[in-house]
């Protein structure tokens, strides 16, 4: 019998419920009859009444590590020296409860690397995710980088996911990958040449030589003959006293020079007439982002001498995993321009006419870019190799119709200067011409074209 003054008289239902921090459970339901105010009589349930018990269940998370991979910029599925990649994976929760205080933990097992420094590996060893809802996932990205001193080795990176609510940890996984030691670049000056015509930035006589009073353009080839790429390459040029750097900037941003590739420096210098040395030393400093791979050299350009281009060798450099093809850098000098052989030949009676016609007066007639330079080189061959006397060489740049007539005479008067110099049966005669030529449409014979030729009246202006 229960007594409770608040219970009304008559039939009612009594429920008995137990509650705790997890939830509540109804363990008893009985029908009762209040016979009089203040007194309760328990009544056995009839056949139509029911007694039930209801249970509230707790839910739990279920975590799993999925789709783990290493992303790195070179795409070789290895972490190269001085490279930064990232480890990417997903944490999925397929359970019915929310995962809370989820800690991601990374540890390294490195074979062949210094364990004190993780072998040159750098990464964030742990991070926390506040919660992961049921039937959802969380993407995790962890940057990982290798120093430029790292060795080639096998790395096993253990990834753990620890759940802080009820300890519903995921099964750990191992990410295995390789680290690869540095492939060093090697920068060098591969070739150089000058241009001393009167076009562009240069102002000279186009004989292929640097002479006092001239402004010349200089080309320098910087090549990477190493097995690794050169990064963030900058170049700077310095000049000695009495030589003026004539281009806008001393600095060149060459960017990235891949293994085997090359870049060109182009600038101009002016040499005053006070310069007395036989060579012009140009300081070439090429800076790579890692100072130990930078280059500092002196490029010596001879004065009053055709610039010689260094010999270039093509080869294949190898490292432990790949081959690098070294391109042949362009030779900036023409082979016949340099290393003109000197002999003991002596031909004192030989006579030569050497003409280089580059600049034509009519704007509709294009220039012949290397005509004067070719003629200059031929003159040097005649003197050094074939023993001609310099005074016996009739040398002309941009010869006009009148000069042609003076040298060779005319059809009516053939006794020009060449005729006067030739000694019958003693003189070898050599004639060299570089410039435009024109055919006679009727006879198909070729003609020299003077620089003052009128293209509308070629037949009246050309020299056969």
Instruction: Please name each of the domains of the chain with its CATH number.
Output: 1-58 (no CATH), 63-180 (2.60.40.10), 187-335 (2.60.40.10), 351-461 (3.40.50.1460)
Ramachandran sector of residue 118 (left: φ over 0; alpha: ψ -120 to 50; beta: rest): left
Between 67 and 198, name the one with better pLDDT: 67
pLDDT digits (tens, 9 = 90+) for 256-294: 999 999 999 999 999 999 998 999 999 999 999 999 999
Residue 456: band (very low, low, confident or very high) from pLDDT cuts 50, 70, 90:
low
Residue 325: band (very low, low, confident or very high) from pLDDT cuts 50, 70, 90:
low
- CA dist 252 → 33, 266, 292 (Å): 103, 9, 19
Distance CA 60, CA 134 (A): 9
Q: Check pLDDT > 70 for residue 34.
A: no
pLDDT digits (tens, 9 = 90+) for 108-154: 865 544 444 456 888 999 999 999 999 999 999 999 999 988 988 88
Predicted local confidence at residue 335, as pLDDT: 52
Q: State the CB neighbour count (10 A cutoff) for residue 332.
A: 19
Give the range among 10-19, 185-194, 222-231, 445-454 with minimum mean pLDDT.
10-19
Distance CA 202, CA 196 (A): 6
Predicted local confidence at residue 70, as pLDDT: 92
- CA dist 405 → 143, 351, 413 (Å): 81, 17, 9
Predicted local confidence at residue 362, as pLDDT: 85
Average pLDDT, the chain: 82
Distance CA 199, CA 309 (A): 22
The SS3 of residue 453 is: coil
Distance CA 13, CA 29 (A): 7
Predicted local confidence at residue 314, as pLDDT: 41
Strand residues in 73-125 grouped as ranges (E): 78-80, 83-93, 99-111, 121-123
Q: Check pLDDT > 70 for residue 49.
A: no
Distance CA 65, CA 90 (A): 6
Q: State the CB neighbour count (10 A cutoff) for residue 216.
A: 25
Residue 177 CB contacts under 8 Å (≥ 6 apart), including other chains: 70, 77, 78, 79, 155, 157
**Most confident option among 20-34, 196-210, 386-400:** 386-400
Predicted local confidence at residue 365, as pLDDT: 85
Give the range among 195-199, 216-220, 288-292, 402-406 with minimum mean pLDDT.
195-199
- Cα dihedral 392→396→401→406 (10° resolution): -20
The SS3 of residue 372 is: helix
**β-sheet bridge partners, residue 64:** 92
- HSE at residue 244, side-chain half, CA atoms within 13 A, is 13
Q: What is the mean pLDDT of residues 447-463?
A: 71
Ramachandran sector of residue 366 (left: φ over 0; alpha: ψ -120 to 50; beta: rest): beta
Predicted local confidence at residue 205, as pLDDT: 85
Residue 440: band (very low, low, confident or very high) from pLDDT cuts 50, 70, 90:
low
Edge-to-edge strands of the sheet including 262-271?
187-195, 215-224, 262-271, 243-245
């Amino acid at each position: 019998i229960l007594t409770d003054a608040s219970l009304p008289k008559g039939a009612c239902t009594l429920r008995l419920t137990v509650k705790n921090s997890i939830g509540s459970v109804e363990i008893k339901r009985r029908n009762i009859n209040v016979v009089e105010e203040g007194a309760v009589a328990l009544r056995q349930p009839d056949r139509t009444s029911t007694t039930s018990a209801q249970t509230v269940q707790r839910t739990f998370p279920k975590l799993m590590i999925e789709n783990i991979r290493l992303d790195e910029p070179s795409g070789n599925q290895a972490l190269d020296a001085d490279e930064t990649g990232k480890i990417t994976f997903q944490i999925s929760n397929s359970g019915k409860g929310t995962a809370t205080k989820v800690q991601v933990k990374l540890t390294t097992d490195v074979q062949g690397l210094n364990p004190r420094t993780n072998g040159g590996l750098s990464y964030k060893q742990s991070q926390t995710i506040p919660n992961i809802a049921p039937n959802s996932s969380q993407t995790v990205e962890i940057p990982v980088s290798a120093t430029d001193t790292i060795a080639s080795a096998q790395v096993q990176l253990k990834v753990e996911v620890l759940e802080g609510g009820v300890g519903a940890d995921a099964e750990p996984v191992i990410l295995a990958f390789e680290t690869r030691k540095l492939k060093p670049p090697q920068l060098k000056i591969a070739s150089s040449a000058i241009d001393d015509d009167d076009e562009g930035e240069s102002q000279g006589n186009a004989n292929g030589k640097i002479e006092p009073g001239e402004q010349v353009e200089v080309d320098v080839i910087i090549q990477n003959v190493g097995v690794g790429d050169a990064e963030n390459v900058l170049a700077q040029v310095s000049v000695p006293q009495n030589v003026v750097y004539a281009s806008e900037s001393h600095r060149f941003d060459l960017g990235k020079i891949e293994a085997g590739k090359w870049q060109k420096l182009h600038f101009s210098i002016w040499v005053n007439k006070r310069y007395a040395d036989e060579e012009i030393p140009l300081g070439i400093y090429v800076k790579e982002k890692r100072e130990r791979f930078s280059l500092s050299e002196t490029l010596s350009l001879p004065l009053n001498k055709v610039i010689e281009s260094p010999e270039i060798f093509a080869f294949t450099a190898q490292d432990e995993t790949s081959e690098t093809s070294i391109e042949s850098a362009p030779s900036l000098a023409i082979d016949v321009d340099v290393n003109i052989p000197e002999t003991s030949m002596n031909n004192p009676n030989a006579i030569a006419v050497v003409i280089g016609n580059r600049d034509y007066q009519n704007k509709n007639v294009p220039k012949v870019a290397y005509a004067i330079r070719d003629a200059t080189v031929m003159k040097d061959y005649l003197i050094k190799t074939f023993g001609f006397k310099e005074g016996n060489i009739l040398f002309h740049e941009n010869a006009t119709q009148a000069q042609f007539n003076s040298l060779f005479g005319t059809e009516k008067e053939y006794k020009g200067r060449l005729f006067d110099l030739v000694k019958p049966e003693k003189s070898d005669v050599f004639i060299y011409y570089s410039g435009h030529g024109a055919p006679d449409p009727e006879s198909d014979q070729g003609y020299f074209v003077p620089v003052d030729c009128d293209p509308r009246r070629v037949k009246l202006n050309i020299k056969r």
